[in-house]
């Protein structure tokens, strides 16, 4: 094989490779699969972490979780808060304000504490169960610009537990909110149906 013939063959191979490469690039840009937004294979019985942490949880009101919340568990969850918050009666402020009796109390309740403008602007509005739930889900989303450096509690059970615990740390704990009928445990339904109409709680 003389060098001219070799060059012809090498050139051909190179041209082929370039052609293949460009076809590859072209088809890739046409057929590149879009990222799946949802899992396409759902395995029965296997929990998907992202799905259970997502909006599905938000659908149930905190009253549902409060109904079975444990104050002891809430005391354990409060360890996350204790670095910044004292919750004993008359206790001093730490990095955050004292939280004794906070459930039902006003936003920015503690006199003398240097609240952010975000929380100070909400003064007078009561910290009811729903407000506390929203705050503890994401302080940042609840009051942009607030100065509580805490990401939030992902699990509704844990939020309910710590709220129930805070409610107990009070001179006058609030009655737990009623669980809306559509989220009440199914077992409670037949009993309620069987009860005479006049026994229904006045709301
Ligand atoms: C890193 C410190 C820090 C941690 C941890 C923390 N907080 Fe706070 N918290 C603060 C600060 C600071 C404020 C005041 C925020 C402001 O003024 O914007 C605050 C405010 C609050 C308020 C509003 C009080 C009022 O008077 O309006 C509540 C309720 C609260 N925190 C509950 C909690 C709970 C419950 C936890 C634990 C799950 C927690 N915080 C964890 C620092 C913290």
Q: What is the pLDDT of residues 45-95, one digit of tens each?
A: 554 444 445 454 456 999 999 999 999 999 999 999 999 999 999 999 999
CA dist., res. 132 & res. 107, Å (int):
10
Q: CB–CB of 127/103 below 8 Å?
A: yes
Give the pLDDT band of residue 182 (cuts 50, 70, 90). Answer: confident
**What local confidence, expressed as pLDDT, does residue 189 receive?**
47
Ligand 1 atom at shortest distance from the alpha carbon of 107: 27
Q: CB–CB of 132/184 below 8 Å?
A: no
CA dist., res. 116 & res. 112, Å (int):
12
Q: CB–CB of 65/59 below 8 Å?
A: no
**What local confidence, expressed as pLDDT, does residue 49 receive?**
46
The verdict on the CB of residue 76 being under 6 Å from ligand 1 is no
CA dist., res. 134 & res. 163, Å (int):
11
pLDDT for 132 beyond 80: yes
Half-sphere exposure (Cβ direction) of 171: Cα atoms closer than 13 Å: 3
- Integer-rounded Cα Rg, in Å, for the chain is 30
pLDDT for 110 beyond 50: yes
The verdict on the CB of residue 164 being under 6 Å from ligand 1 is no
**What local confidence, expressed as pLDDT, does residue 185 receive?**
63
Half-sphere exposure (Cβ direction) of 18: Cα atoms closer than 13 Å: 6
Q: CB–CB of 177/66 below 8 Å?
A: yes
Q: Which of 112, 179, 116, 168 is nearest to 142 (CA)?
A: 116
Distance 148 CA to ligand 1 centre (A): 5
Could you give phi then psi for residue 63, rounded to 5 degrees?
A: -55, -35
**What local confidence, expressed as pLDDT, does residue 181 receive?**
81
Q: CB–CB of 96/127 below 8 Å?
A: no
**What local confidence, expressed as pLDDT, does residue 150 receive?**
97
Closest residue CA from atom 37 of ligand 1: 81
**What local confidence, expressed as pLDDT, does residue 55 receive?**
52
Distance 41 CA to ligand 1 centre (A): 41
pLDDT for 16 beyond 90: no
User: How far from each other are the two terminal CA atoms of the chain, in whole angstroms?
Assistant: 100
What's the mean per-residue pLDDT of the chain? 82
């Amino acid at each position: 094989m003389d060098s001219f013939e070799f060059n012809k063959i090498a050139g051909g191979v190179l041209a082929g490779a370039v052609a293949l490469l460009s076809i590859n690039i072209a088809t890739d840009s046409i057929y590149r699969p879009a990222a799946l937004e949802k899992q396409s294979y759902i395995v029965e019985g296997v929990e998907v972490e992202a799905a259970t942490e997502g909006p599905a949880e938000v659908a149930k009101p905190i009253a549902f979780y409060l109904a079975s919340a444990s104050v002891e568990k809430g005391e354990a969850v409060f360890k996350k808060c204790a670095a910044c918050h004292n919750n004993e009666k008359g206790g001093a402020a730490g990095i955050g304000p004292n939280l004794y009796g906070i459930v039902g109390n006003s936003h920015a309740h503690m006199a003398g504490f240097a609240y952010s403008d975000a929380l100070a602007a909400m003064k007078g509005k009561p910290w009811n169960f729903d407000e506390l739930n929203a705050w503890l889900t994401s302080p940042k989303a609840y009051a942009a610009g607030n100065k509580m450096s805490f990401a939030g509690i992902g699990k509704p059970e844990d939020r309910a537990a710590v709220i129930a615990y805070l409610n107990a740390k009070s001179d006058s704990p609030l009655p737990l909110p009623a669980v809306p009928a559509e989220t009440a445990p199914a077992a409670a339904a037949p009993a309620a149906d069987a009860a005479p109409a006049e026994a229904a709680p006045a709301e």
